[in-house]
Amino acid sequence: MKRLLLVLLCLLLVGGCANIPLESQPVVVSRDKPAQAPVDVPDPPKDLDALSVAREFVLASAKPGNAYAASRVFLANDERVKWKPAQELTVIGNTFRTTYLPDEQGRVPDPNQQTVVVRGSAVGTLTTSKSFIPSPVSSYEAQLKVRKQADGQWRIVDPPQNLAITGQGFSDNYSRLAIYFYSADSGAFVPDLRYVPTKPASGLPLRVVDLLLKGPSEGLSGAVQNLVGDQASTETNVKSADDGSVVVPLAGVSTLSPDAKNLVAAQIVLSLQSVTPSRVRLLSDGAPLVPGKEYLRASELPAYNVGVAPGSDLPGLMTVGNRILSLGDGAPVAGPAGNGGYDVSSAAQSVDGKRLAVVERSGGGVRLRIGDLGRDLPLAGLTGGSMTRPTWRTSPAGGGASGELWTVVDQSIVARLSLAPGGNWAQSGVNANELTTLGPISQLRLSRDGARVAAVINGQLLVATIVRTPDSVTLRAPRILQPQELQDVVDVDWASQETLVVATSSTTLPVVRVPVDGQRKDSFNSSNLSPPVHGVAAAPNRQTVVADAGGLWVATELGEVWRPQAHTLADAYPFYPG
Amino acid sequence: MTTVRLVRRIVVFARRRAVGFNELWRHSLQFRVTVSTLALSSAVVFVLGMVLQNQITERLLETKRLAAIEQTQAVSETAAGELVGVGPESPDAIVARLTNALKKISSTSTTTQDAAGSAAGTFEPVLATGNREQTTAPIAAGPFDKVPERLRQFVESTQVSWLVHSVTDSDGTRTTYLIVGTPLNTATSLQLYLLYPLTTEQNTVSTVQNTLLVGGLVLLLLLAGISNLVTRQVVRPVRQAAAAAERFADGDLDQRLAVLGEDDLAKLALSNNEMVASIQRQIRQLEQFGGLQRRFTSDVSHELRTPLTTVRMAADVLHASREQFPAGLARSTELLVDELDRFEALLGDLLEISRLDAGVEELTAEYIDVRPIATRAVEQVRVIAGTAGSTVELVLPDEETVAEVDARRVERILRNLLANAVDHSEGRPVVLTVGVNETAVAVTVRDYGVGLRSGEAGLVFNRFWRADPSRNRRTGGTGLGLAISQEDARLHGGVLDAWGEVGHGACFRLVLPRDQDVSIGRSPLVLPPADYVPVEPFLTVPGPPEVQPAPDAIFADRDDREEVGR
């Protein structure tokens, strides 16, 4: 009986062995080439003091790779795994201080715990949509609790949700990208500036498409359309194909109209041109997005943004005294505007160059004249104590001559005049409450793509978004650019869709170039200018013209020495169409 | 209660079966060979099946694993290409990236059907961002929870590894996977796991198992049948031979085995037949020889009888006138007559025994009371007993003891036994006891003389047997008395047997059926006698109560004991 049991047991045992196992231990497969060792983040140097730990943490936070592995090493062990930093970043000045929090009265100091205060100047915020918003406040302060660990090292025990990184770290580790969105009003693509981690560079197209599909940032929403819609996504990842093109496989866009598909294609190609020189292969659910145009380059696109820049036949104008002269040959324009028929205070030429608006001094106030260039300029029926230089809105592509112009009356009322069917200029309002509450508006310039407006209020530079509905036009999301640095702005103009050139009355920064989000400022050479500068004119692919006490100066590059304008005159005020 | 009863019943049944099996095992060569073949071949089939199954399973897994690893390497290149730029995104974005890469992997693997891919079969891909330090919870796409921790540790430290793991789904089905994990060659630490279900392999193995099981069973049954058939071919002639030998032993000397063909069994039958024929011949010869001898004895006895009668008459004449002869002559005459008496008795016995041998003696049985026969026999030996100094006691049942016997022969038997007892009684009493029951009558003659040595009890009935041949023949009978008595008892359908023990005397017992047609059954009197208590010799010697001979005396007497005729 026992033997029988034994035999049965053996049978079961052997029978079990012969089956496919249900579990096994991991077995390493030997490979010919050695495995690529991952780059480990080195531990911080030993025996760093608490202040240095906090400082190094802030510096390391600029590297977002591998889920902030670089900054995680400064955290206590259990926090390393738990820490989930928010997507929003605060950018602070390059110089910041770390100090111990002074002990409170009556509190027994814990020798193993310190609170470090990080203090610096606030620069701005990188939002979750990766756009930069200048900081409304000037200073940044955060507290970090640092505790001595069992191994004698100081480590942060309460890592902040919102990380602060230095401006230098930001520019070193993040790249600025322009994501283009279509504005139906102007028929142009409007850039939306975003900042994505630079490394790994091969992933940049991926991030661009990602951001693009998520739609415009909060600052631009309303001004532009999100063509692709919410259902749009990437079918597989955007990557470089073997044939050298960048493949963008889209999904959820097959229902779009052919026109919209063309626009989407252009939007993607335009956005990608800053990160890859390759052709872009656009696919929708595996098939070409635009039939017949599977592969696209930016240069092969139709000229969508042709209207946003003045034509090359328009050299620009200048106001000298009460006359308007051409910048190209110094000759006065035809008609009363050129021969001193009007007491011209300021003037603006439409982007297409056909129309001219003139603010005429009349009595104690001013009044507006609008008409065709070289002809008599009829009064537009707008008068006031003062008016900013008018600014023309670009007409949609193929929409004929510009039919809308803005000016600020008495530094507080934003007036919008549009050409009524009868040939009269009808005045309508602009909801600019968000701007006017900030102070008197001394300058107002519409961007040539019609999506944004730049203004000077109290000597500060602002950019706001124009949201158009059939009933009204609203200026919203005003942002003061470089509030600390630019305090005495006198004039502003759009150098490109995403760049502004600013003239200030300061001697150190007379002419400054600022991106539309104010993330940085680049000053032009100021060595041979004689401040104060009182005017600036800029346009895409044009020399920047500034007016100082001595006359007009031109420069193309940032560091370039200013050259006298060919037809410079004292007290001239230059302006390009727009 | 019922279960206990059931179990008990089963145990009883099993035990009974086991006993039956044992019986069969002991008695049937065919069964033994069949069962042995079955057991041995099942062991062989089992081992073979296991080896085969192991081989198949191992090969299956090996093939699958190699193909899976190759496939994984190929897929990992695809995945690395897909994920080349993944890095500092938000977790959501990374999940989207990984999911997209998975889509790509799935679509690629379905479109490209290369050799490795088709061998490895379908798989479920999983992508995860784990790192060696495990500082963060990994972000993953695909069924990441199916990947066990122990494999992740290996793969996260950039080792291409595999394992087999079973996962129970939410609907309860248990799936076994071969999971191959590989780190991706990307800037960020990423891992690709491919989960290959082993369902097909499991099905194959179970099919193989079933096939092997069924095949093995069929093979075993066939083997059992074959061995049964083969053994039968050998066993049947053997059984026939055994039956023939049995019949031969029962006296059917003409029994022969059938010789078929020229094989070993035929040779066996042939040699057996020759042996049987030879034995039969010898038996016939011996029979003839025995008959010749008996006739010779009978003839000699007859032939001697006539001259002896003449000699006897002449001797009687001489004996009658012996007073007229001188003393020496007279003595010679007496001696002559004495020896003639003995000679006559011997001759009579010889004639009697030759008649018995020849089978010519017939039993003239009648229903008669046995007690008077016994009394008569005692009376006849009382004179001899008196000269020997022994007394003869008679113990008879009170009631009439009727049996169908030949009174003359019974009397002769008893007389012989009594004479023999008296002869060896050494002067001690001799007891004759008659016992009776429903079927048999028994007579014992007990003496307390020197007794018999062990083994002699069977020899005393041999003709002319003597315990000590050197012993002087001084007294008594012809040496044929007990042999004749035994033949007489046999003629009655009865039994004559003897018992003796050195120092305790001897006892002879005659058992006769009361009815010639009814067998004896149980004897009314027991042998050894009831008064004998078997004890260690030399410690207490339970002799007859009145005499207690010393051991040396017994040994001394033995030399004088006359055994001839007992």
DSSP A160-198: -SSEEEEHHHHHHHEEEEEEEEEETTTTEEEEEEEEEE-
**List of long-range contacts for B353-362, beta carbons under 8 Å, 24+ apart:** B353/B297, B353/B463, B353/B480, B353/B483, B353/B484, B353/B487, B354/B294, B354/B295, B354/B297, B354/B298, B354/B301, B355/B298, B356/B484, B356/B487, B356/B488, B356/B491, B357/B294, B357/B297, B358/B294, B358/B295, B358/B298, B361/B487, B361/B491
Q: Nearest CA of chain B to the CA of A35: how many Å?
A: 6
What does the alpha-carbon distance between residue A166 and residue A92 come to, in Å, rounded to a whole number? 5
| Summary mean pLDDT of chain B | 82
Closest to A266 in 3D by CA, of A306, A231, A207: A306
What does the alpha-carbon distance between residue B455 and residue B135 come to, in Å, rounded to a whole number? 104
> Do A20 and B202 count as a contact with CB atoms less than 8 A apart?
yes
CB pairs under 8 A between A and B: 150
Q: pLDDT grade, residue B470 (50/70/90)?
A: low
| Strand A544-548 versus strand A365-372 pairing type | unpaired
Q: For position A256, what pLDDT does the model report?
A: 85
What does the alpha-carbon distance between residue A511 and residue A527 come to, in Å, rounded to a whole number? 11
Q: A462, A455 in Cβ contact below 8 A?
A: yes
- Residues of chain A numbered 36-55 and touching chain B (CB < 8 Å): 36-38, 40
- Is some CB atom of chain A closer than 8 A to the CB atom of B100? yes
Q: What is the ipTM of this complex?
A: 0.70
Instruction: At B251, list the tokens.
Output: 């006296």
DSSP-derived secondary structure letter, A106: T
What does the alpha-carbon distance between residue B354 and residue B463 come to, in Å, rounded to a whole number? 12
Percentage of chain B beyond pLDDT 70 is: 89
> Do B100 and A234 count as a contact with CB atoms less than 8 A apart?
yes
> Do A239 and B81 count as a contact with CB atoms less than 8 A apart?
yes
**pLDDT at B425 > cutoff 90:** no
> Do B107 and A236 count as a contact with CB atoms less than 8 A apart?
yes
- Is some CB atom of chain A closer than 8 A to the CB atom of B293? no
Of A26, A66, A203, the CB nearest to B84: A203
Instruction: At A8, list the tokens.
Output: 């049965």
Q: Which amino acid is at A65?
A: G
Lowest mean pLDDT among A107-116, A527-536, B326-335, B522-531: A107-116
| Nearest chain A alpha carbon to B135 | A81
DSSP assignment of A481-546, as one string?
ESTTT---EEEEEESSSSEEEEEES-SS-SEEEEETT-S--EEPP-TT--SPP-EEE--TTS-EEE
Mean pLDDT of A442-462: 90
Question: Which pLDDT tens digit goes with each residue over B340-377?
Answer: 888 888 888 888 888 887 777 788 888 999 899 999 98
- Is some CB atom of chain B closer than 8 A to the CB atom of A11? yes
| Nearest chain B alpha carbon to A30 | B160
Of A72, A199, A239, the CB nearest to B135: A72
| Nearest chain B alpha carbon to A42 | B133
Of A11, A203, A239, the CB nearest to B87: A203
Mean pLDDT of B457-478: 67
Question: Which pLDDT tens digit goes with each residue over A374-419?
Answer: 888 888 888 889 999 999 988 765 566 678 889 999 988 999 988 8
Number of H helices and E strands in chain B, helices first, is: 12, 12
Q: Which amino acid is at A525?
A: N
Of B104, B134, B160, the CB nearest to A28: B160
- Is some CB atom of chain B closer than 8 A to the CB atom of A200? yes
Of A31, A203, A236, the CB nearest to B85: A203
**pLDDT at B11 > cutoff 90:** yes
Helix (H, G, I), strand (E, B) or coil at B276: helix
Closest to A501 in 3D by CA, of A436, A557, A450: A557
Chain B residues with beta carbon closer than 8 angstroms to that of A89:
none
> pTM higher than 0.80, yes or no?
no
Burial class (CB in 10 A: 0-12, 13-18, 19+), B222: exposed
Q: For position B563, what pLDDT does the model report?
A: 40
Closest to A198 in 3D by CA, of B76, B537, B85: B85
**pLDDT at B463 > cutoff 90:** no
Helix (H) or strand (E) holding B193: strand B191-197
> Do B209 and A87 count as a contact with CB atoms less than 8 A apart?
no
Q: pLDDT grade, residue A465 (50/70/90)?
A: very high
- Identify from A20, A36, A233, A235 which residue to disrupt to test chain B contact, counting B C-beta atoms within 10 A and taking the largest count: A20
- Is some CB atom of chain A closer than 8 A to the CB atom of B66? no
- Is some CB atom of chain A closer than 8 A to the CB atom of B159? yes
Question: Which pLDDT tens digit goes with each residue over A490-542?
Answer: 999 999 888 999 999 888 888 999 999 888 888 898 888 888 888 999 998 88
Q: For position A114, what pLDDT does the model report?
A: 84
- Is some CB atom of chain A closer than 8 A to the CB atom of B107? yes
Q: For position B295, what pLDDT does the model report?
A: 83
- Is some CB atom of chain A closer than 8 A to the CB atom of B197? no
Chain A residues with beta carbon closer than 8 angstroms to that of B131:
38, 66, 69
- Is some CB atom of chain A closer than 8 A to the CB atom of B205? yes
